[in-house]
Structure 1
């Protein structure tokens, strides 16, 4: 990663620029009159704050653009030629819709091109190292690959200090010139070279993924809990009509643990079918790659009870102690009234048997869609975050074995207190997902999202839609908490509709359902981000909660002043979750711990971006694909960081999240560039770190980060 050059760091701006220490503008003739269109110079700082406009010191404000004749402006708008950068950031181009067959053919052509060299050959540099020879889906033309490979990037390979492990991308690495000993070959070993300060865990094994693809994965603990609660779902009624009889009715309890009475034959037959059909998964006869196998449309749950605790059925090692606590009591009746059956006593662990987490006084980085990826969490950990949580993952996608969804559960070794967030509509889906995560991943807690306001999630009955269905909320939390020993937390909003809050009436019961902690976002689903968070309501809920339930607040925490205010006004509040504040300035964790306003310089901010790029290349790869993936996520993040206003430029501190920053100059060229809300300037910053963008590159933010007051969908 190169240092910002003087040439790249020069944004287009007037030649006369004020110095930091100036009390008055350098060129008074250039300044707009008090009645100028921006209206900021004629208002006092207090009046600007009342209008949610950031009170930037006058000497740093940009002069407004020259106004043309209104008729000319209308004509220009009609022609679509607006000179304003904000309104001309991107051009929408209608793309030709291609068929699936055409897209598939194009993917095969790309894989066979010289630019897509075989990974094994790239690692070793030896054409004969690929075991598939001529049947390989990738190119073996080393010279052709070198001829079209982009120039190496400046800087050192991110895997240079990998603890004795060479770069796994070899020839394909964009830092290949810095490799020593000629190499990219991975050092052979037992895997211990991957374990260290830079290791990542929580990957999904191929065997388990195939079982999920074929709906052959078994969930004994979840199904036992669901049966005890009477929540097996509509599929259980159809089970009696099928050929396979229910295991509980035909096999004695003792044989369930030993695989007797035909269970071993059943498992053998299942795996025989799996082995025979594995050729379909791995075969390339029809041009379909193994990783291109389309997931099933719906992750069907096996509610017939045809499962066994041995690894013969589901390919997983389930501890014998878990098996013994699951099955012998499954014939017991569900809970009635206040009476606990033997099934309930065995499935619901005593609170002292759980590994509890104390969230009090800890700095919690919220799960953030798209931008809250593993490299971003690593940056926040280095800046003082105590608790991190993965991006929200959909339960149905996890149960289908989608690799992209499982990537959201990845954990870095530096994340010492880490949780994952899942989102589902029904108790059976959530309970089985929780069991699967418990078996496949190493996490400290599992958070269930019941507050996501996104339409595509709500329309499926998940996220905020659950706020209208308290009984389903209860069933989800109970089923999940009884399935695993990990602490279960939930994240909610104040309610679905504004003014119709529900959570305060449920807060006393949430702890009894089995939740360890609840995070309350101080806005309704309908409100989205259109107003400030209602912290008084969050305090009300925290005071109603039982002592066994920890309550965390969320919304508009943007400085240590906000943190101290919420903690002092409501001692019952365990902690505060930090979300958009961390996106805009990840050093907020340092500010809270050191109790100061950090007037961070542009160079320090640029170093944080360099750290992000370095860990991003470690995570996504140092080849061309990994570089461009890192660039995309960096640009998504820059669409938030541009909203930060340096402390030294403000008349009133601290900055608040709802303040709109006016157009202003920074104290140096790089700070001015970082303040731009133009995607073209974000791309320029990415080029300082990752080299020139590919030909035809364009970028539009996935999230509307500039919509400060927009109330979407009501």
Structure 2
């Protein structure tokens, strides 16, 4: 019987495989040109996770109810692992002054029976020749030595309990900020108790017996000759400027008010003009219980013209200094210490919200901590209103040690923007003016401002600020070459940053920010424009903190995996000194180490690239390193990051999970920098 099945179609010969793309083609596509010898087939991945696929080994944390949180907290409080600090430090159960009423356990034997095993290595405090403040709870307690020398901390800017209580009760007084807000005619948004406000004003003037009525509220002043509405209006200030800054009398106010359409409530021509106002109290110990410097400026004007700030006393030479940007989460004190050892000149603390600082939140004040190695250190704050920012600056000026204060007007995070702070201020130039004027008058330290090019793409606004912001009181302005709408996508617009620098006055430092990832990037932007003082380095320092060494030595450092591991060891040592060497401190150090490793995995060693240097926006293909450790460090899996942390901090606790805080694909955008 004949076979009726059709004959099979002839199989075409396999065409020759296409030639591999050239390095130039890979670069044009935004792919890192890794040498073919190190490439490997891309692993088969599951469906992309909510974090964009950057943390394939991450396990989402279990969402707990409030009842479960309370139950867990109660179990933690009753646990024998909560050993009393005094008992742990001394090893004596009778060392606690609270005795049986102490809410922590005094059972040393029960604690030691459940304490995790000690980690390998030496206690970081013992290495420094200091007694360990964690005693029995230290995870390196076996290496402790009998050292009874007093322990000296190298960290400053801690919030005292007395000041915190004043902030909680809203009784902290702000004489300089209140006076400046009043003289600028700005509206006070922040609410202060009447008793504290009355004390504040009575401390600001020589003659507390003279008072006047304004809007039904008693105002204590040394001279009440003129009263106008307290809502700030730029047209009035402009008219007063046209009068040449002459002493304020009734006729001049009337003329200015008529042109600016402002209602004059009361004008008294007798005795009008300038007057001296004493900003420090008669007894310096009466202001918030702290000594007030005797050299605070003691004269002011009542004509609403901004008090001339002493810029000659506010000088920091930013030119060609290596500036580590304030970085959310990862820009903590141990990371800044690490960057200082690698060549950074200027460091700045993480962004702190003004409202949280004013409420005395300990977690927010921790962002202002400074290490003794940070010889040129700034604090960065973020607020929406002039009175809030000015009072916060006066607060940190009294309580903290720093060299300059930076106001963040470029943060793109929705939580900040929706409150009217951060980059939303770019849509309110008059509020920027008020914030800078009020803030610069309450501190003698340099005031700097950080902005983006614009809020919306294609509507650049930064160039309109640089010509005036120096006259308002700023010593430097940092321009991030992206709009808020861009976040961190696309390349930074350095052409526009240069345009802004050309419009800036000679005494204003213009600092560029965006995509600095090698010494050639640095040279191109700093040397190419004499008007740009320096560059701020953000994500480039997160991916490879040795970029500061590369810039100073003018080379592309082909760093080995062993050298990179030593850098991680330094970070963990700094972290244990900062967060503690007990179990809680070890796990806190591990958490921030893992957050940082989510960035370092993007670094591609110089010896593996066909084109040098690496660009920040290149996507690395799947590749093998020159050794197993280098391959492990190149992994984008959170499980591999945990393995690296175990090399430094021992095994993770049972049930440990980790997911990066910044869940976006940060090759395009990230919530820091």
Q: How far 1:711 sits from its partner (Å)?
A: 9.8
Three-state SS of the structure 2 residue aligned to 1:483 is: coil
> Deviation digits for residues 597-633 of structure 1, max 9, x if unmatched?
0000000000000000001100000000000000000
Q: Is the 8 A contact 2:664 2:670 kept in 1?
A: no
Q: How far 1:333 sits from its partner (Å)?
A: 3.4
Residues 654 and 553 (structure 1 numbering): CA distance in 2 closer, same or farther, change over 3 Å? Answer: same
Equivalent residue in structure 2 for 1:414, among 367, 373, 376: 373
Matching of residues 35-54 of structure 1 within 5 Å: 42-54=20-32
Partner of 1:424: 383
- Which stretch has the larger CA shift, 225-234 or 400-409? 225-234
Equivalent residue in structure 2 for 1:218, among 166, 173, 179: 173
Q: Is the 8 A contact 1:247 1:306 kept in 2?
A: no
Q: Is the 8 A contact 1:220 1:308 kept in 2?
A: no
Partner of 1:3: none
Question: Are residue 194 (structure 1) and residue 168 (structure 2) matched?
Answer: no
Partner of 1:490: 449
Question: Are residue 311 (structure 1) and residue 246 (structure 2) matched?
Answer: no
- How many angstroms apart in 1 are the aligned matches of 2:508 and 2:460? 19
Question: Are residue 139 (structure 1) and residue 97 (structure 2) matched?
Answer: no
- How many angstroms apart in 1 are the aligned matches of 2:548 and 2:196? 56
> Deviation digits for residues 392-451 of structure 1, max 9, x if unmatched?
000000000011110100100111100010000000110011011111111000000000
Partner of 1:287: none
Q: How far 1:233 sits from its partner (Å)?
A: 1.6
Q: How far 1:255 sits from its partner (Å)?
A: 5.8
Q: Is the 8 A contact 1:638 1:682 kept in 2?
A: yes
Residues 107 and 252 (structure 1 numbering): CA distance in 2 closer, same or farther, change over 3 Å? Answer: closer
Question: Are residue 675 (structure 1) and residue 634 (structure 2) matched?
Answer: yes
Q: How far 1:85 sits from its partner (Å)?
A: 8.4
Partner of 1:24: none
Q: How far 1:312 sits from its partner (Å)?
A: 3.3
Residues 542 and 150 (structure 1 numbering): CA distance in 2 closer, same or farther, change over 3 Å? Answer: same
Partner of 2:57: 89
Q: Is the 8 A contact 2:478 2:510 kept in 1?
A: yes
Partner of 1:579: 538
Residues 672 and 705 (structure 1 numbering): CA distance in 2 closer, same or farther, change over 3 Å? Answer: farther
> Deviation digits for residues 36-60 of structure 1, max 9, x if unmatched?
xxxxx72110000000000000000
Partner of 2:259: none
> Deviation digits for residues 494-544 of structure 1, max 9, x if unmatched?
000010001112210011110000000000000111100000000000011
Question: Are residue 178 (structure 1) and residue 146 (structure 2) matched?
Answer: no
Residues 445 and 86 (structure 1 numbering): CA distance in 2 closer, same or farther, change over 3 Å? Answer: closer
Q: Is the 8 A contact 1:450 1:466 kept in 2?
A: yes
Matching of residues 45-194 of structure 1 within 5 Å: 45-65=23-43, 88-92=56-60, 94-99=62-67, 103-104=69-70, 106-163=72-129, 165-181=130-146, 187-188=149-150, 193-194=151-152
Question: Are residue 640 (structure 1) and residue 599 (structure 2) matched?
Answer: yes
- Which stretch has the larger CA shift, 415-424 or 242-251? 242-251
Three-state SS of the structure 1 residue aligned to 2:441 is: helix
Answer 1 or 2: which has greater helix percent.
Answer: 1
Matching of residues 233-244 of structure 1 within 5 Å: 233=188
Q: How far 1:64 sits from its partner (Å)?
A: 3.4
> Deviation digits for residues 293-343 of structure 1, max 9, x if unmatched?
xxxxxxxxxxxx999664335222223443xx45x757x2312xxxxxxxx
- How many angstroms apart in 2 are the aligned matches of 1:235 and 1:406? 19
Partner of 2:322: 363
Question: Are residue 229 (structure 1) and residue 172 (structure 2) matched?
Answer: no
Q: How many residues align?
A: 587
Q: How far 1:706 sits from its partner (Å)?
A: 3.7
- How many angstroms apart in 2 are the aligned matches of 1:589 and 1:399? 35
- Which stretch has the larger CA shift, 568-577 or 691-700? 568-577
- How many angstroms apart in 2 are the aligned matches of 1:63 and 1:123? 54
Partner of 2:206: 254
Q: How far 1:108 sits from its partner (Å)?
A: 4.1
Partner of 2:559: 600
Q: Is the 8 A contact 1:53 1:660 kept in 2?
A: yes
Three-state SS of the structure 2 residue aligned to 1:518 is: strand
Query: What are the ranges of 5 or more consecutive residues in structure 2 without an aligned counterpart?
Result: 1-14, 210-277
Q: How far 1:569 sits from its partner (Å)?
A: 2.2
Question: Which of the pair has more CA radius of gyration?
Answer: 2
Q: Is the 8 A contact 1:211 1:217 kept in 2?
A: yes
Three-state SS of the structure 2 residue aligned to 1:489 is: strand
- How many angstroms apart in 2 are the aligned matches of 1:318 and 1:245? 18
Matching of residues 309-388 of structure 1 within 5 Å: 310-312=284-286, 314-322=288-296, 325-326=297-298, 329=300, 332-335=302-305, 344=306, 347-352=307-312, 354-388=313-347
- How many angstroms apart in 1 are the aligned matches of 2:93 and 2:386? 52
Partner of 2:232: none
Three-state SS of the structure 2 residue aligned to 1:254 is: coil
> Deviation digits for residues 664-707 of structure 1, max 9, x if unmatched?
00000000000000000000000000000000000011113643
Partner of 1:341: none
The TM-score normalised by the length of structure 1 is 0.78
Residues 480 and 194 (structure 1 numbering): CA distance in 2 closer, same or farther, change over 3 Å? Answer: same
Residues 172 and 319 (structure 1 numbering): CA distance in 2 closer, same or farther, change over 3 Å? Answer: same
Q: Is the 8 A contact 1:640 1:705 kept in 2?
A: no
- How many angstroms apart in 1 are the aligned matches of 2:69 and 2:108? 26
Partner of 2:512: 553
Q: Is the 8 A contact 2:452 2:481 kept in 1?
A: yes
Three-state SS of the structure 2 residue aligned to 1:211 is: helix
Q: Is the 8 A contact 1:111 1:139 kept in 2?
A: no
Q: How far 1:98 sits from its partner (Å)?
A: 1.3
The TM-score normalised by the length of structure 2 is 0.82
- How many angstroms apart in 2 are the aligned matches of 1:201 and 1:244? 28
Partner of 1:5: none
Q: How far 1:105 sits from its partner (Å)?
A: 5.7
Q: How far 1:93 sits from its partner (Å)?
A: 5.5
Three-state SS of the structure 1 residue aligned to 2:540 is: helix
